[in-house]
Structure 1
Amino acid sequence: MKTHVSNLVKYKDLFLELIIKDIKLKYRNSLLGVLWSMLNPLLMMVVLSIVFMEFFKNNIANFPVYVLTGRIVYQYFADATNFAMDSIHANGQLIRKVYVPKYFFPLSRVFSTLFTAVLSLVPLALTMMVTGLSLRWMNLLVIVPIFYLLVITAGIALILAAITVFFNDLKHMYSIVLMILMYMTPIFYPISIIPEKYLTIIKLNPIYPIVDMFRDVLLYGTLPSLTLHLICVGYMVVYAGVGLLVFYKSQDRFIYHL
């Protein structure tokens, strides 16, 4: 762990350059560019609201904000982990030529995707104001679930990036996993409709408590419970720890598969 931290400090400029490169890559050949990062979640929210609001309008207050908070969290997780999966293969030439801490590549993609997610908070704030929700100091606490989400996503990204080096077909299988995860996350439905016997399965979803916390500080204006924090910290420690361990144990063999 000490070595990873010292490498991050030593090569911080390179890490920052990789993040900037990934951001530029994302918006290359895009006419709308950064604007699309704000329009995309807004358009998805409109579509989901039109389709599902009639079903759940009596169960969910301020449905557009409810949908948008869930969508932003899920979309960041999906985009960041997807983007990180082939990061080692994509930088194979550089890895073969010079020494670079290999975990920089998946982590730079996790951090560059965070840029897009933060931009999505702009249309979220506008939606809150348009739908009658006043902005308040408690909304600033959204930085806490964002931090939890970043660390959890980084841990899972390291696991996926390491496995994909040896098993490239994982990229195709992972799209199915993300689809299942989307329906396991209460993005457009209330958790109250889930039968009690299935609740445990739903709550095993690592982004479920993050979505809950987002809604507490943004939609309901309440402080997240200590239990919710402990669950998030637990997921954070487990996924980050397993991610670092899996990546560290397998990184020396990457060179034979690039």
Structure 2
Amino acid sequence: MKKYINNFMKYRELLLELIRRDIKTKYRRSVLGMLWSVLNPLGMMVVLSVVFSNVFRANIENFPVYLMCGQLIFNFFNEATNVAMGSILGNASLIKKVYLPKYIFPTAKICSTFVNLMTSFIALLVVVVFTRTPIHPTIFLVIFPIIYVFLFALGFGIFLSAIVVVFRDMQHFYSILVTAWMYLTPIFYPIDILPNYLKIIVGLNPLANIIEMFREVVLYGAVPSMVLHVKCLVSCGIALVVGLYVFYKQQDKFILRV
């Protein structure tokens, strides 16, 4: 373990440079630049609120904030895992020329997306203020669901970046998987409307648990239960262990397959 920590510290400057490069590349020649990280979730919230608010108005109080809490978490996970998935293939020329710890590439992609999540949080605060939603002291506990979704995305993204090198069709299959995942995550609907068998499935969804915690601290002013913390920690742990194990087993073959 000490060896891996020292190796990570050795290349931390490279990691920071890759993160800066990804952020600059994403907003290159954009007039508004990183402001889009605020405007995009706001725009999507307005559109989805208009579409779904009449359907779920009776079931969900303060629907715009409810919607945006789910939207920010899921959109981060979706974007982070998608960009991480192509990180090894996208840096094939560099991997073939010099030795670098290859996990740096998916990690940098996820970290740069995480910066966008932090910026998008401003959009959530704007909606909270605009809808006159009470700001509870528990909002400071938002650090927990944010850390959980980052760790879960990191483990899942590292896993995908290794798998796609061997199985290129994963890029297309994952778009189908993440669409199904979105509808099995209570982003714009209350879980109470689901039949019992779907409630069980959604209850096993790590993102549903993270979103639930996010809403508790931001919208409802509740302190998340220890059970909910354990559920999130277990899912993050499994994602990281599986992701790192698969990546470790496959990384020596990358140079032959990219």
TM-score by shorter chain over 0.5? yes
Residue of structure 2 equivalent to 1:209: 209
**Equivalent residue number for residue 19 of structure 2:** 19
Q: Indicate if the aligned counterparts of 2:136 and 2:217 stay in contact, CA closer than 8 A.
A: no
Provide TM-score, normalisation by structure 2: 0.97
Q: Partner of 1:179 in structure 2? A: 179
**Contact 2:148–2:232 (CA under 8 A) maintained in structure 1:** yes
Note the C-alpha offset of 1:157. 0.4
1:102 is aligned with what amino acid? K
Residue 168 of structure 1 aligns to a residue whose secondary structure is coil
Q: In the alignment, does 2:160 pair up with 1:157?
A: no
Question: When the two structures are superposed, what TM-score results if normalisation uses the length of structure 1?
Answer: 0.97
Partner of 1:89: 89
Residue of structure 2 in register with 1:114 after alignment: 114
Moved over 4 A (4+): none
For this pair of structures, how many residues does the alignment match? 258
Q: Which runs of 5+ in 1 are unaligned?
A: none
User: 1:32 Cα shift?
Assistant: 2.2
Cα RMSD for the two superposed structures: 1.0
Q: 2:58 is matched with which residue?
A: 58
- Could you tell me which residue of structure 2 aligns to residue 245 of structure 1? 245
Q: Deviations over 1:124-161 (max 9, x none)?
A: 01111111113343212111111011111000001100
Q: What code does the residue aligned with 1:121 have?
A: F
Deviation at 1:2, TM superposition (A): 3.1
Which letter does structure 2 place at the counterpart of 1:33? Answer: G
Q: SS of the residue aligned with 1:120?
A: helix
Contact 2:138-2:218 within 8 A present in 1 as well: yes
Secondary structure of the residue aligned to 2:254 is helix
Query: Does structure 1 residue 223 correspond to structure 2 residue 223?
Result: yes
How many Å apart are 1:99 and its aligned residue?
1.2
Counterpart amino acid of residue 220 in structure 1: Y
| Cα shift at 1:199 | 1.3
Between 1:75-84 and 1:167-176, the stretch displaced more is 167-176
Looking at structure 2, the residues matched to 135 and 4 of structure 1 have their Cα atoms a distance apart, in angstroms, of 41
1:37 equivalent to 2:41? Answer no
Q: Which amino acid aligns with 1:225?
A: S
Distance 1:203 1:4 in 2: 35
Cα distance between partner residues in 1 of 2:29 and 2:168: 27
- Return the offset for 1:243: 0.5
**Structure 2 alignment gaps of length 5 or more:** none
Q: Deviations over 1:30-86 (max 9, x none)?
A: 232111110111111111110111111111010000000000000000000000111
SS at match of 2:84: helix
Equivalent pairs: percent with the same residue?
A: 48
1 CA distance for matches of 2:30 and 2:191? 37
Alignment partner, residue 28 of structure 2 = 28
Residue 16 of structure 1 and its aligned partner are, at CA, apart by 0.8
